[in-house]
Amino acid sequence: MRTRILAAAASAALLTHCSHTQSPATAEAAAQAQATPAAGKAPASERLTYPVSRKGDVVEDYHGTQVADPYRWLEDADAPETRQWVEAQNALTFGYLEKLPARGRLEARLTELWNYEKYGIPSREGSRYVFTKNDGLQNQSVLYVADSLEAEPRVLLDPNTLSQDGTVALTGADFTRDGNLMAYSLAAAGSDWNEIRVRDVRTGKDLPDVVQWVKFSGISWTADGKGFFYSRYDEPKPGEKLSGALYFQKLYFHRLGTPQTRDVLVHEDKAHKDWGFGGEVSEDGRYLVITVTHGTAEENQLFFKDLKAPKSKVVELITGFDADYTFVGNDGPRFFLRTNLDAPRGRLIAVDVRQPDRKAWKELIPQGEDTVRGVSLVGDRLFVSVLKDARSQVRVHALDGKPLGEVALPGIGSAGGFDGERKDTETFYSFSSFTTPTTIYRYDVKTGESTVFRAPKVAFDPSRYETTQVFYTSKDGTRVPMFLSHKKGLKLDGSNPTYLYGYGGFNIPLTPGFSVSNLVWMEMGGVYAQANLRGGGEYGSEWHDAGTKLRKQNVFDDFIAAAEYLVAQKYTSPQKLAIAGGSNGGLLVGAAMTQRPELFGCALPAVGVMDMLRFHKFTIGWAWTSDYGSADNAEEFKALHAYSPLHNLKPGTRYPATLITTADHDDRVVPAHSFKFAAAAQAAHGGEAPVLIRIETKAGHGAGKPTSKVIEEVADKFAFALHALDADGGEAVLAGESVK
């Protein structure tokens, strides 16, 4: 399988972005919350006066239930009144944050640690190698090309030169078979909208070709290098670029040297507005493999087109949306497919396109005890990446499925990569853990040996920290894993500031990974906890399904049980516990804090889906109904309404100190979610702890955010959390932290 540098992931993964949902606090919990002093209580001198948020009179009928939506006006992000509201909220928030005692030293330490070389996984493109590198504090990583692994690399594309503030990001790239041309996509200010251009690798100059209105798309060249396939939507109507609903994605072919107006429509479906189409050219150049998705469901169809027959029609190979089918590669007309059909943890099958009847399908690698997350075909070997209790393992098989051994990884962590072509004798992969910065390895396919290609040097001593994996019991008896990282010698006396992070959605697993921000938290004596909730992809489709639609409350129960475990085992106490998550994880935090406000001292919901009754009306939100359900369905409405964070804020309740974060250019989870939740939370809050919203400008959902903005936001979040948890003393630790 050819590598797509920074290539957009599968359509379903691209459409996701959030963790949302769950039920309201019970009357008992609400009463308990009102009777319990909130952690992070601000002294009288810090008590805040919130900007006025006008209450409208909008009321909507949902299957006979009248639901008020007083802040509907905040959905119009460009309205003067909304702009004024944003300015007033930011003035309050940034005024508060800049006075926090830990803020300055946190930013300094984050900047110090962040300043190390970061490499991406190399790929061989023709006779050259291509990889990304960030010198340390560059806002965007730079794309380099080298004639050999030992040769001096030269800059192929530096996104930092495309804008003064580093807000233009490289989001994907694909190369012609000879490696001489690169089609690459750019996004501005964090938007999901991409623009594709073409660069001559030999000269570093761009060709005239420009392709616009691309979203949730990969790029795939034909074997002759005369053009590439991509996916796009129609140009949005005026005023709807960042919020309008997206339907009717189409697959196009762009011929090099021609204007986009002459691009050829390869496939569309006018009868199904919610179907998406992604095209990939097989390594031998023979087939265009078309993945057909509908939203983010773990189900897709698979079509193909014979590119050697110019007038050939698209053939519907697998229809019905009954399972996930991911194209791995082909051996002539035999397609290798990773699937969860009759295998919730995944398996590998071979389908001969000349004999497509399901009775003729061949199983090559059966389902095992562990979850298959990816399969690649390199050097006539199948590299199978699996998760064993959320830890990476990589197994090697022959093309007939015969086991050939396992890649010896350096420890408990996360591995990624293993891309390349059938003829390659090498491949590259990355490995990281909570205390191991991302290291790049070269793997010799013939000998099975791994050697370090690039290893970063970060100014900290990993031997001072430890990671353990624990298992706790959720509300319904389900066994849930959680990683805990902290300094060695931690005292279990309930006094440790703890940062509990979760996601729990869209079949996305949370695995061990290095983070400068988490390291700084641990340096200050904090505990970093990462819970592997249902709804994620840690244990296959059954684990995912158990946290979707009418079962979404399981995700919140798992998260709450993780918090209760940390308290019961005396890692921390409610007054010292912060919860955090982004996107779908933002929903998670919003649901947890509204259901159990007394259990947490601080809540940090980021770019969250907070209005579960209207999320499907904006941009690609409709695609998330596979995980959440829809308020248009009476039964699903009841479940959504029961946990929607916006609709479960109870007046007079003492909520934990809360810092909501979003961005004005987020066109995936539109900022209205956070705007409305902030307005409602400030109005409902009966305690003295601050409830603030931080609204980033010229940024989107998170991808491509400049390093400078990331560091500033993390410093703000951690300073806020330390103050809320009465742990400002942790900041002093940084001043005397021993660095080796």
Residues with active-site annotation: 583, 701
- Under DSSP, the state recorded for 490 is -
Q: How far apart are CA 651 and CA 30, in angstroms?
A: 10
Q: How far apart are CA 472 and CA 256, in angstroms?
A: 56
- Residue 682: name the closest of 657, 661, 664, 662 by CA: 657
Sign of CA dihedral 721, 725, 728, 731: negative
Q: How far apart are CA 434 and CA 413, in angstroms?
A: 8
- Residue 519: name the closest of 140, 116, 190 by CA: 116
Cβ atoms of 668 and 678 closer than 8 Å: no
Amino acid in the structure at residue 673: H
Q: How far apart are CA 262 and CA 575, in angstroms?
A: 62
In the block, tokens 């309050």 appear at 92
From the number of C-beta atoms within 10 Å of its C-beta (0-12, 13-18, 19+), residue 22 rates as: buried
Strands (E), 434-547: 436-444, 450-454, 465-473, 479-487, 498-501, 527-531
Q: How far apart are CA 367 and CA 464, in angstroms?
A: 39
For the record, the structure tokens of 408 come out as: 């010896």
Cβ atoms of 183 and 136 closer than 8 Å: no
CA atoms within 13 A on the CB side of 191: 18
Q: How far apart are CA 610 and CA 590, in angstroms?
A: 7
Amino acid in the structure at residue 700: G
For the record, the structure tokens of 456 come out as: 């970063």
CB atoms within 10 A of CB 119: 20
Element (H, E) at 5: none
For the record, the structure tokens of 44 come out as: 């009288």
Q: How far apart are CA 14 and CA 27, in angstroms?
A: 38
Phi/psi of residue 59, each to 5°? -135, 135
Cα distances (angstroms) measured from residue 450 to each of 190, 417, 440, 565: 36, 13, 10, 39
CB atoms within 10 A of CB 128: 21
Strands (E), 307-447: 315-318, 325-331, 334-339, 347-352, 362-365, 371-378, 381-388, 391-397, 403-406, 414-417, 426-433, 436-444
Helices and strands (H, E) in the chain, number of each type: 13, 39
Cβ atoms of 323 and 301 closer than 8 Å: no
- Residue 700: name the closest of 660, 676, 664, 672 by CA: 664
DSSP helix/strand/coil, 496? coil
DSSP helix/strand/coil, 212? strand
Q: How far apart are CA 213 and CA 234, in angstroms?
A: 7
| CA-angle at 470, arms to 468 and 473, nearest 5° | 165
- Residue 442: name the closest of 121, 133, 152 by CA: 121
For the record, the structure tokens of 42 come out as: 């601000």
From the number of C-beta atoms within 10 Å of its C-beta (0-12, 13-18, 19+), residue 116 rates as: middle
Amino acid in the structure at residue 322: D
Cβ atoms of 334 and 348 closer than 8 Å: no
